[in-house]
Structure 1
Amino acid sequence: MIRYFIPLFVLVHCAFAADRTAAWKKVAEAEANGLPKTAMELLEPIVEGALADKAYAEAVKAITKKIRHHTEIQGGKAEEKIGNLQAEIEDAPDEVKPILQTILAHWYWHFFQQNRWRFMQRTQTGEAAGNDIMSWDLARILAEIDKHFSTALAAGENLQKMSIADYTELLT
């Protein structure tokens, strides 16, 4: 009985992976044709399937692409992209959170680099600036970047279980 179950499981798993490969091709086609909404819609089943199959690297790639396309549709504001990723992190499985936290820290860092002159001209406020990234001072943006990198590194046990080879597409 078990000798039939294992090949069946492998066959089903390969079929789902093949479906996602075809879906990725459709996403690339939509991107090439300048159709971010279509690409975003095509990415949703990829995210769900990858999470169900515990293909976390693929899920992270799909989540970040989906957020980028959503942001592009909404006007391309970096602060919106950051907010969308924060919302995704809250709902993400624990295995994915450290990677998403790292990406979020990088997106904050990139936002800081693009707006460095604004942050350098601001004085530090005595009260908390809230969640509006456009009103933050230098200390707040740097603290937020540090917080997200530290949060990602605090999940050291999860990170050590991950294979870096799975994330090569994100690293290049």
Structure 2
Amino acid sequence: MLTFADRLNLLFRAFLRPPDERGERKEWSNLQVARAAETVHGRSVITREHLRMLRNGERPRPSVETAAAIARAFEFLSQSEPEPGRASAIVAYLAIDPTEASPDEVAQVESIHQQLARAVDMRENKLLGLMARLGDLEDPESLDEIRELVTRLEDKERSRRGGFLRRHRR
């Protein structure tokens, strides 16, 4: 059975921060998620310490209101908030307690969990698959072309990130 900590930690892995100057995407901190929940709800809903305890399993699960606030914080941070009044799969994912839920609700939570886990796995493993394919190339001309392509892509991404960073620093 999926614990609240399992589900919450998967959200932290699934909803990463935008790329930094080096193009790396990292998890949001407990403090950032707590502040986002406060922004969305207009008041303090959860502290970073409470999030830490939920993530470590020191607290089994929060109230439905707090679980929904955490989910909405991730939607806010990822800029994927649903329209007001519209149901959110992420809210359901955190708010439904599988130990007290109907079989249909448990199936819904498990389905969302599998989709998120697959997305995280694809993001984390796609680079490994590409690297394995590149490892088969031996021709010096092919390797030079790969270096040139990577350099062009790095320049292109750096340029885009620069625009992203300028827009979000205002």
Coarse TM-score class (shorter-chain normalised): under 0.3
The normalised TM-score by structure 1 is 0.25
Bigger relative CO (Cα 8 Å, ≥ 6 apart): 2
The normalised TM-score by structure 2 is 0.25
